[in-house]
Chain A
Amino acid sequence: MSSTFDTIANIIAETCDIPRETITPESHAINDLGIDSLDFLDIAFAIDKAFGIKLPLEQWTQEVNDGKATTDQYFVLKNLSARIDELVAAKGA
């Protein structure tokens, strides 16, 4: 989990010019770090490339809009790391 989180945190720090030390596993990308949807596209691109996956942003957004999920489930970084690990595992299965 830590290596996935570290990769994400480094991507966010570099992409959004946010001090790396302020990014923790408990940080919410939107609510705590203030990342907007356009910046998140850059982050998604970097994550897609780094992990060889395709973050299902549209599906996640739909689930949040439909009340089937909370933004915490996808945008708190420890949870985002877990989702990425799942996607990487599914790709290799």
Chain B
Amino acid sequence: MRLEYFQLIDRIVDLNLTGLTIRCEATVPTASTIFEGHFPGYPLMPGVLLIETMAQTSGWLLVAANRFERMPFLAAVKDAKLRTFVTPGQVLSANAALKHEGSGYAIAEANIAADGNSVCDATLTFSLIEFPNAEMHKRMRETAANIGLPTGAPADG
């Protein structure tokens, strides 16, 4: 994870385009300026970043499922539950499953676990639109390659 850059997914561990599920791995950094304020003397991964981690996990699933033709933008967060504290250095397993894909939108159910324990879960709604520009499309493909998007979802074709 590079918190300051909002790069919250380190690696895609499993992507199933038949069952439309994904599992990603992300390690919370041991040091970050964010921990200086959240909280002084008691560093915790902010809950909003856990929700963003679930959104990015779901987002990669949707990008892959749409073969890089659509970009998912987070539109709604429902039933978000932050069940336990996450501290620097913890390894997170972030999972998402596509619940429904409609016309121009999708709904995913996502969760994060750490050390076998449930950390958080939520139902996320995304707007699916064409990539706003070629630069973003290119950068998303590069990031996808860096985090190991499996070849089942073409990152370069």
SS class, residues of chain A in contact with chain B: helix
Determine whether the beta carbon of B75 is less than 8 Å from that of A41: yes
Within 8 A of B (CB), among A28-72: 38, 41-42, 44-45, 48-49, 54-59, 61
- The answer to whether B125 has its CB under 8 Å from any CB of chain A is yes
CB proximity of B97 to chain A, nearest CB, Å: 15
User: How many residues of B are in contact with the other chain, CB < 8 A?
Assistant: 10
Contact between chains at A57 and B76 (CB < 8 Å): no
Q: Point out which of A38, A41, A42 has the most chain B C-beta atoms below 10 A from its C-beta.
A: A41
B103 on interface, CB distance cutoff 8 Å:
yes
B102: chain A residues at CB < 8 Å are 41, 44-45, 48, 54-55, 57
Residues of B within 8 A of A58 (CB): 103-104
Residue of A with least CB distance to B101: A54
Those of B28-49 within 8 Å (CB) of chain A = none
**Pairwise interchain contact A54-B103, C-beta atoms closer than 8 A:** yes
Kindly count the residue-residue contacts between A and B in the assembled complex, taking CB atoms under 8 Å apart: 34
B100 at the interface (CB under 8 A from A): yes
B residues in contact with A55, CB < 8 Å: 102-103
Bound together, the chains give a CA A41 to CA B102 distance in angstroms of 9
Write out the residue numbers on chain B whose beta carbons fall within 8 Å of the beta carbon of A54: 102-103
**Can you list 16 A-B contacts with CB-CB less than 8 angstroms, sorted by A residue number?**
A38-B75, A41-B102, A41-B105, A41-B127, A42-B125, A44-B102, A45-B102, A45-B107, A45-B125, A48-B102, A55-B102, A55-B103, A57-B104, A57-B105, A58-B103, A58-B104
> Can you add 17 more A-B contacts, CB < 8 Å, to A41-B102, A54-B102, A57-B103?
A38-B75, A41-B75, A41-B125, A41-B127, A42-B76, A44-B105, A45-B100, A45-B102, A48-B100, A49-B100, A55-B102, A55-B103, A56-B103, A57-B104, A57-B105, A58-B103, A58-B104
- Closest 10 interchain pairs by CB? A57-B103, A58-B104, A58-B103, A41-B105, A56-B103, A57-B104, A48-B102, A44-B102, A54-B103, A54-B102
